[in-house]
Structure 1
């Protein structure tokens, strides 16, 4: 167990925690390695995928029985497996920043739902079916994973490509199991606190805030970067981009 923990700790502090793309080193590792490389990268991508983890944390936050946890996680797994495998194999893709922006919205949705937002703000008797919403968001999360997987050298369509995709998905599931084990441990400890019910609203407000910040980050990435491994806040071209826009506006104004 200690070896397993030591093996996963570096992943939690890897660059992928802040850049949700796939590095050139990882791409080269895929070329040099076999299917196990894809399994490892899938696990790494899930464990360092802060948006996926936040959504999962929100889903299981109020689930008390093992049966319910298995039911909801299974439907989420089914959803993201469908789009991960089929979208990748069929070459269906979309702008990664916009897909991740929708994933960020799913995080906001779950925190809002956990805090009974539909009842308090919309006067609804109950929230939309959680099982269906988890499945739908699972499809979206899987599409997000697919956009990353399609950056890798998967080869020509055929059994080899399919096995690489399946290997990546197996890694995602293994990473999800590890992440869920940690989350359940945290939530179990929180439930033992006498102020859990009172603090649960604060925790879910935090989930919504985190989702909102992720949404802003993804939209910023869509507007100011050209690749999933870039992020414009720390780049000089961020300021240059705005200066260029201002200069163009001044030029147009002077020529009116």
Structure 2
């Protein structure tokens, strides 16, 4: 495909522009925490839905999963496998407080995005001369991973002490995730169905999945960078204490000139 390579530079630039949005996926803000304290189960449903709709790594992976699926039966089968997978880890990991550094979890989730774009473009056949791994098993396995990523965020919230109450909050959050997933998938499947009717789908489907690989790679690098900051915050330039020392050396607080405050 001789016309594909020139497209890679603008696609990479577009993915780079989207990278700051990817980094913000799943964050639990102070406002969200307070809202959970003040509200009830409906708040957890709303938060779950908003997390899925702004969870760019989850959405990119799902986009890759449904990209070439054309029948409702196939879409339902693979989406169900993904859903069962992320429900298992979201519920059980949160309830039993099994967690890990969320930057590392999200870094592995980024690998799932790379994997799907690579697989969609026949990468295993082209570069390794082997068949693609079983797609249903891969989607289920990555679903487990994505659910664990959601769990690491949910565990940042005040879930309470009562076991029944904790379970209800987890299930409410999970219901919200599923509602958000349904909304996102409806838009994706509808847009892809319309695009397949156009000649441009055949021309640009390869490029679209290359962009998916780029987006996953950028997300991977960003999450690894975030992990470095998280594990060794003073290992980077301008740690807080050093920054304060610079200000002291410059005597920054005494640089005002009060003589300029009056007119002569």
Q: TM-score range by the shorter chain?
A: 0.7 to 0.9
**Superposed counterparts of 1:216-255, under 5 Å:** 216-225=221-230, 238-240=236-238
**Superposed displacement of residue 184, structure 1:** 1.0
Which residue number corresponds to residue 246 of structure 2? none
Tell me, which stretches of 5 or more residues in structure 2 are unaligned? 1-20, 243-264
Residue aligning to 1:229 = none
Task: Select 1:213's aligned residue among 211, 218, 221.
Answer: 218
The aligned counterpart of 2:123 is 117
- Cα deviation per residue 1:212-252 (whole Å; 9 max; x = unaligned)? 000001001000136xxxxx9xxx995325xx8xxxxxxxx
How does the TM-score come out when normalised to structure 2?
0.79
Q: State how far apart, in whole Å, the 1-side matches of 2:74 and 2:216 are.
A: 24
Backbone CA RMSD of aligned residues:
2.0
Name the CA distance, whole Å, in 2 between partners of 1:35 and 1:16.
27
**CA distance in 2 between partners of 1:135 and 1:38 (Å):** 25
Deviations 1:131-165 (A, max 9, x none): 00000000000000000000001012511100000
Equivalent pairs, count: 220
Between the aligned partners of 1:60 and 1:19, the Cα distance in structure 2 is 21
Paired residue for 1:167?
172
For the pair shown, which has the larger CA radius of gyration, 1 or 2? 2
* Structure 1 stretches lacking a partner, 5+ long: 1-14, 227-231, 245-256
Distance 1:41 1:154 in 2: 13
- Deviant stretches of 4+, over 6 Å: none
1:5 maps to none
Structure 2: how far apart are the matches of 1:16 and 1:213? 9
Partners of 1:19 and 1:207 lie apart in 2 by 16
2-side partners of 1:120 and 1:195: how far apart? 23
Asked if residue 26 in structure 1 is aligned to residue 32 in structure 2, the reply is: yes
